């Protein structure tokens, strides 16, 4: 049975999460960059072994959800955490602005078809939570969703939290582990990274004027994140608000949580019975 990893960055299940109290920087006694890199490699090595057992067992599925403000490090964290995992056992989906076809369905439809199969690790780079984050900050986007009834926005967000909690509980009851990561970067650090995208030629392609428009809405986004994490962090689908100002610490922390969560599933290779073992030994004799 899955149990949420007891990390200091675990978002409480009682709705008491306050984003102002969540650290964006690592502890003062954090190891140096080299030590963090070694820890990351150790966790990735263990994850590789656990993923092989996950794949062979074909019973559990794992979904990793990443949400954050721009320049928080989602892409690089996903890369670092999964770099040692067999690509055949992973699948990554990134969610942008919904298409017309996606808007013709309910807000959970487009992510349902991207869920991982049993035995695989799925990754959502942004996710269904965009519907209670960016859409909450930009309620004008609701016009494109053509809902058939009038409902106050406050009530709409509550309904969507309920739908998300029910959906993730359904996944958990059917053997899918849902781990959600909010990469908690400070506004100051985000500013430094956005400036770096302008200063460094190899990062110019990453910069968008839209990043600045969204940055101007920082406080509204923080309110949306606080409300969403408070309402949807549950024992079967926990949120982790991980400090993101130090990227090596961020990557190591996420890898450690994923590794320990997988380890807690008691994964192992399938064991065959005596009859099948006897059949295999007989077949072995026929291999010329």
**Given this model, what pLDDT does residue 266 score?**
94
pLDDT in tens, 38-52: 999 999 999 999 999
| Confidence label for 211 from pLDDT (cuts 50, 70 and 90) | confident
Say yes or no to pLDDT of 241 above 80.
yes
| Cβ atoms of residues 170 and 112 within 8 Å | no
Residue 78: phi and psi, rounded to 5, are: -60, -45
Higher-scoring residue by pLDDT: 270, 63:
63
pLDDT of residue 168: 98
pLDDT at 288 over 80: no
3-state secondary structure string across the chain: CCCCCCCCCECCCCCCCCHHHCCCCCCCCCCCHHHHHHHHHHHHHHHHHHHHHHHHHCCCEEEEEEEECCCCCHHHHHHHHHCCCCHHHEEEEECCCCCHHHHCCCCCHHHHCCCCCCCCEEEEECCHHHHHCHHHHCHHHHHHHCCCCCCCHHHHHHHHHHHHHHHHHHHHHCCEEEEEEEEECCHHHHHHHHHHHHHCHHHHHHCCHHHHHHHCCHHHHHHHHHHHHHHHCECCECEEEEECCCHHHHHHHHHHHHHHHHHCCCCCCCCCCHHHHHHHHHHHHCCC
Average pLDDT over residues 246-268: 96
pLDDT band at 145 (very low <50, low <70, confident <90, very high): confident
pLDDT (0 to 100) of residue 178? 98
Domain boundaries, given as residue ranges, for the chain: 19-285
pTM of this prediction?
A: 0.94
Choose the weakest-confidence range: 39-48, 80-89, 187-196: 80-89
pLDDT band, residue 8 (cuts 50/70/90): very high
> Residue range 89-100: average pLDDT?
92
Each residue of 66-82: pLDDT tens digit? 999 999 999 999 999 99
| Per-residue pLDDT at 286 exceeds 90 | no
For the domain 19-285, what is the CATH code?
A: 3.40.50.300
pLDDT for 277? 87
What's the pLDDT score for residue 138?
A: 96
The per-residue pLDDT for 1 is 66
**Given this model, what pLDDT does residue 32 score?**
92
For residue 203, what pLDDT is reported?
Answer: 87
């Amino acid at each position: 049975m899955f149990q949420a990893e007891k990390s200091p960055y675990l978002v409480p299940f009682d709705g008491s999460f306050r984003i102002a109290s969540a650290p964006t920087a690592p502890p003062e006694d954090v190891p140096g960059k080299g030590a963090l890199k070694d820890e990351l490699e150790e966790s990735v090595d263990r994850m590789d072994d656990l993923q092989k057992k996950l794949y062979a067992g074909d019973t559990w599925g794992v979904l990793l959800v990443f949400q954050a403000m721009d320049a928080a490090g989602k892409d690089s964290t996903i890369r670092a955490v999964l770099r040692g995992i067999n690509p055949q056992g992973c699948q990554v989906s990134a969610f942008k602005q919904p298409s017309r076809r996606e808007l013709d369905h309910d807000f959970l439809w487009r992510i349902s078809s991207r869920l991982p199969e049993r035995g695989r690790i799925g990754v959502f780079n942004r996710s269904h939570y965009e519907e209670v984050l960016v859409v909450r900050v930009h309620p004008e986007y609701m016009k494109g969703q053509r809902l058939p009834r009038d409902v106050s926005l406050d009530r709409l967000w509550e309904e969507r939290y309920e739908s998300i909690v029910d959906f993730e509980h359904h996944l958990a009851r059917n053997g899918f582990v849902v781990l959600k990561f909010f990469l908690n970067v400070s506004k100051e650090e985000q500013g430094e990274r956005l400036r770096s995208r302008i200063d460094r030629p190899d990062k110019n392609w990453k910069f968008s004027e839209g990043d600045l428009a969204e940055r101007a809405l920082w406080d509204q986004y923080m309110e949306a994140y606080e409300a969403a994490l408070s309402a949807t962090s549950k024992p079967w689908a926990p949120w982790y608000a991980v400090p993101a100002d130090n990227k090596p610490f961020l990557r190591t922390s996420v890898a450690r949580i994923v590794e320990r969560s997988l380890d807690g599933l008691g994964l192992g290779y399938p064991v065959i019975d005596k009859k099948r073992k006897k059949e295999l030994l007989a077949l072995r004799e026929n291999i010329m």
